Amino acid sequence: MLPEVKARIEAFKKIREQENMIKENMKRIRFKIAVLSGKGGVGKSFVTSSLAFALAYQGKRVGVLDADIYGPSIPKMMGVQGQPVYASSEGRLLPVVAPLGVKVISIGLMVPSEDIPVIWRGTLTTSAIREMLAYTEWGELDYLLIDLPPGTGDEQLTIVQLIKDITGALIVTIPSDVSRIVVSKAINFCKKVGLKIIGVIENMSYFTCPDGTKHYIFGEGVARKISSQYNIPFLGEIPIDPRISRANDSGEPFFIKYPNSLASKAVIEITKAIIKSLEGTEGSED
């Protein structure tokens, strides 16, 4: 047999083996949720990390997979930047543990320094995602949240195809008209690939001044409009809080530092809606 043919067969076998490992891993995770947005910079990673903390706060066993290969921001937002990822004796990746016991895996934990870019072609990013899904030792989880890069391309499709029993998607948007148009792309992507939409979340909805007045900086009620236009559940709105970007920049998780802020309370309400929709029960903060 020609060496190239042999190598191809080996590579194909490896992929099949990894796909089987993913299937086994995913059997131990009850709900697998992809967090999507059509547009970048709408706060998807902040929302993913805060939802993870809020679910763990309500007693759920939670993991976060940062599938953003080129711009992994989950480690910093979850307070685990710089922590090493160890491998078990069987060669499985052991996720790092963030506050409240949330397990985290990200390419950002595997590159030597924050400012070193990952320069890979598309095929390598899909294999990196496949390998993270196959080799990570999550154990038993109630929720796995997957922070996807913005857009509806290769990485998004890879996740949906690899996790055959994926529960559904959360769509994050900001209340701007531009964002509304882009979000419709994410919704159509979900429809095309048969991914259930759990609901839409509006981030950076309004700003409350110290005198209590609410200001809708970008626009008002956009996620509600999307929800009724496409007949998908509206899960809630998270206000703007300047302490969010400060906390994210300094590597202290906002939800942990400010659990009683309006934004954290909004996040808890959103997780309650998610728990109710998926588990049919009310969430609990006890």
Ligand X SMILES: Nc1ncnc2c1ncn2[C@@H]1O[C@H](COP(=O)(O)OP(=O)(O)OP(=O)(O)O)[C@@H](O)[C@H]1O
Binding site for ligand X (CB under 6 A): 37, 40-46, 68, 71, 73, 150, 203-204, 238, 240-241, 244-245, 248, 263
CB-nearer residue toward ligand X: 126 or 248: 248
CB-nearer residue toward ligand X: 7 or 181: 181
**Minimum separation from the CB atom of position 126 to ligand X (A):** 18
**Minimum separation from the CB atom of position 42 to Mg ion (A):** 9
Picked from Mg ion, ligand X, none, the partner binding residue 150 (CB below 5 to 8 A depending on kind) is ligand X
Picked from ligand X, Mg ion, none, the partner binding residue 251 (CB below 5 to 8 A depending on kind) is none
CB-nearer residue toward ligand X: 150 or 283: 150
Picked from Mg ion, ligand X, none, the partner binding residue 134 (CB below 5 to 8 A depending on kind) is none
3-state SS, one letter per residue, for the chain:
CCHHHHHHHHHHHHHHHHHHHHHHHHHCEEEEEEEECCCCCCCHHHHHHHHHHHHHHCCCCEEEEECCCCCCCHHHHCCCCCCCCEECCCCCEECEECHHHCEEEEHHHCCCCCCCCCCCCHHHHHHHHHHHHHHECCCCEEEEEEECCCCCCHHHHHHHHHCCCCCEEEEEECCCHHHHHHHHHHHHHHHHHCCCEEEEEEECCCEECCCCCEECCCCCCHHHHHHHHHCCCEEEEECCCHHHHHHHHHCCCHHHHCCCCHHHHHHHHHHHHHHHHHHCCCCCCC
CB-nearer residue toward ligand X: 37 or 227: 37
Picked from Mg ion, ligand X, none, the partner binding residue 173 (CB below 5 to 8 A depending on kind) is none
* Nearest residue to Mg ion on Cβ basis: 45
